[in-house]
Amino acid sequence: MLNIGLLLPRSPYYNSLSFEMSAGFKAGLKHAGNNDIRLITDNIGFGTDKQQVYRAAEKMLMDDDTAIIFAFAGMRTTQLLRPLFMSANRLLIVLDSGASLPQEWPVSPNILYLSLNNALGARLAAKRAAHDGFKEGGMVTNYYDGGYLHTLALTEGFTSNGGAIRFNIATGYLREEYKLDALTEHLDKYPESCLLGLASGDFAQWYYEDTKALLGNKLPASYVAPFMLEENLLSRSVFNGGVTKGVASWSKKIVNPLNNFFMESMKSMGREASLFSLLGWEAATISASVTDAMVQNNFQGNLIGEVIKTASYESPRGIIRFNDEWNTSLSPMYEAEVSVADDGKCALNVTGKINDIDADFSQMVSAELGETISGWFNSYTCC
């Protein structure tokens, strides 16, 4: 029996995140038909307490003898764990929202990133805005989501494709501080601008609600990052009446047998499929596929990591593979648009599949950050 560790976070905006991720892992193992894996979990809070994360990982390595540890953690926290996993020669696979960019990419043979690629999706959404003919745009985010460097990916995706950022709005953190009033002044000055949106959780709901209330039929087109297109969120969000396009990491509307099976599996466990249960499912898929490699390589993390990177994995969102240079997963992404549901809330329509993302990923990770920096240790969606 092989022990696999799963370090789970807390989140005020996605209260069931840990349960969804754990359920996805268990469902993925069942689908793989692997009975040789035992899942061990621990809680790491919001990921802001570096010592708590370190102690939880160290305990799993020393007391539970885990072969691989999966952790929903931020990149800065992950790098603090690097010496621990190098010393133990075990493998850490980061379940990564993909919302941030590091000042440098210190690639370790003992750390891989299984990513939702939110920053890449933000870049592709902004690139889509430029290709749709918009020459001017303004970024709309908030205190929380604006603390991650997907902001750079979004704006650079627009400017590198001929667009110009004319204004930025960053709202407050609380509902009473979330105010978009400045939009009217900016749009009067730059009436040809589109909106480039970055938000998650409640902030995304407030974006849809407040743009409708503030701008009505004068609402310009919005181009948004993947977390603004999460379908369980959209089903609770008021449709603002405008054109909202973006790029999704995954959708319930993706047509393939495995996606249907994944959604039915989650439903049989009393849960709606989500981005987080998807990550759990994919973690189980990878674990189940390398059980023999773990034993053959005497559980040496650097060697197991190389085995994982040379393979591809079937996922409900498409085929996952790892970029060998950056140790980060890449998979198809999906062009999508928000429409109105029968109850007046938002629904998602998938309009296209983006398979060729390698060039955009390379351009994104090669972008000069200059003085831009994010000092946050917490995982995206966990604050």
Residue 135, pLDDT > 60, answer yes
For residue 47, give the nearest of 17, 19, 67, 20 by alpha carbon.
17
The string of DSSP letters for 120-153 reads HHHHHHHHHHHHTT--EEEEEEETTGGGSTHHHH
- Residue 14 binned pLDDT confidence (cut-offs 50, 70, 90): confident
- pLDDT tens per residue across span 299-350: 999 999 999 999 999 999 999 999 998 999 999 999 999 999 999 999 999 9
Give yes or no: residues 85 and 207 share one domain.
Answer: no
Give yes or no for a contact between 382 and 11, defined as CB atoms under 8 angstroms apart: yes
Q: Which of 308, 330, 352 is the last residue of a domain?
A: 330
- pLDDT 10s digits, 235-281: 999 999 999 999 999 999 999 999 999 999 999 999 999 999 999 99
Which structure tokens are listed for 14? 């996605």
User: Can you say how many angstroms the Cα of residue 241 is from the centroid of all Cα atoms in its chain?
Assistant: 26
Give residue 185's domain range. Answer: 119-248+332-365
Decide if pLDDT at 372 tops 70: no
- Is 225 a member of any domain? yes
Is residue 172 located within the same domain as residue 208?
Answer: yes
The reply to whether 372 falls in a domain is no
Cα dihedral: 109, 319, 336, 170 (round 10): -10
Question: From CA 370, how far away is CA 383, in angstroms rounded?
Answer: 26
Residues 210 and 145 in one domain: yes
pLDDT given for residue 375 in this prediction: 62
First to last CA, the chain: 35
> How many domains in the chain?
2
What CATH number is attached to the domain comprising 148?
Answer: 3.40.50.2300
Tokens in use for 94? 């980061």
What is the rounded distance in angstroms from the CA atom of residue 371 to the CA atom of residue 363?
18
* pLDDT of residue 102 exceeding 90: no
Instruction: Give the containing element (helix H, strand E) for 304.
Output: helix 301-309
Based on the fold, state whether residues 338 and 209 are members of the same structural domain: yes
For residue 373, tell me if it sits in a domain: no
Nearest to 344 by CA among 181, 252, 227, 212: 212
Helix (H) or strand (E) holding 17: helix 17-32
Q: E strands within the chain?
A: 2-8, 37-43, 68-71, 91-96, 111-115, 136-142, 164-171, 194-197, 222-224, 244-248, 312-315, 318-323, 328-330, 333-340, 346-354
Instruction: Tell me, yes or no, whether 234 and 264 share the same domain.
Output: no
pLDDT over 80 at 49, yes or no: no
Place of tokens 């603090």: 80
**C-alpha to C-alpha distance for 93 and 112, rounded to whole angstroms:** 5
pLDDT, residue 376, reads 63
Report pTM.
0.95
